[in-house]
Every structure is written in structure tokens, then in C-alpha cells.
A = this chain, B = another copy of it.
Amino acid sequence: MGSIRHLVLAKFKDEAAVEELLQGLQKLVSEIDVVKSFEWGEDVLKDERLGQGFTHAFLLTFGSAEDLATYIKHPSHVAFGKAFRAAIDKILAIDFPVVTNKISA
């Protein structure tokens, strides 16, 4: 069945408490059942042109568009979103139904 991914790229402000925000995000996704999986990472390519300054990627997976909508409007997400947005210089988000063309063990 079609999973949908919620992809967020962020560039944090210099003074942002990134560690705290990451912990908040981990707590958030652990508490909201519709989040099927959560992974994130810090850019290592560091190509200013290609990466446009984004330093972090966050990838959340949901079982359906409805589940994603449930997450987006969840009061805990709304509250976290406020703190998150206050800490970032810029953000990019897209949602996409996953088409998988290759999986190796």
C-alpha cells in the first residue's frame, strides 16, 4: 500500500538549540502513532549551490495522506512547529507518495 513521505529540509539559525529541537522532534514522533517511521540526517555534501544552505533533512513516513493530515494538525505538532520555525533560517517541505524501484537487503 502507498506510503507517503513528508520531507522537510531546514537551515537552523546560528543561535538555535538544535540538539534540543532534535530531541523534541524525536519525542513528538514517538508519541504520535500515525508516524510510521522517522529518520533524519545532517548534510555532508556541503555544496552551497546544490544544497542551497540546507543543513538538515527530516523524513517522516505515513501510511496514507489522511495519517499525514492527522499528524500535521495534531496539537503537539502544531506546538512543536512554532518552536521549530522560530529556530530556522529557512525551510523546504514536500510530500510525496513513495514509488520504490530498487531495494537491496
Contacts and interface: CB of A to CB of B under 8 A. Distances in A.
Interface of A: 4-5, 7, 9, 26, 29-30, 35-45, 47, 50-52, 54, 56-57, 59, 65, 91-104
Contact of A101 (B9, B40, B94, B95): B40
Copies of this protein chain in the complex: 2
B94 A30 contact: no
18 contacts: A4-B44, A7-B7, A30-B101, A36-B102, A37-B100, A38-B100, A39-B98, A40-B96, A41-B96, A41-B98, A41-B99, A43-B95, A44-B95, A44-B96, A45-B94, A47-B93, A56-B96, A57-B94
Contact of A37 (B42, B57, B96, B102): B102
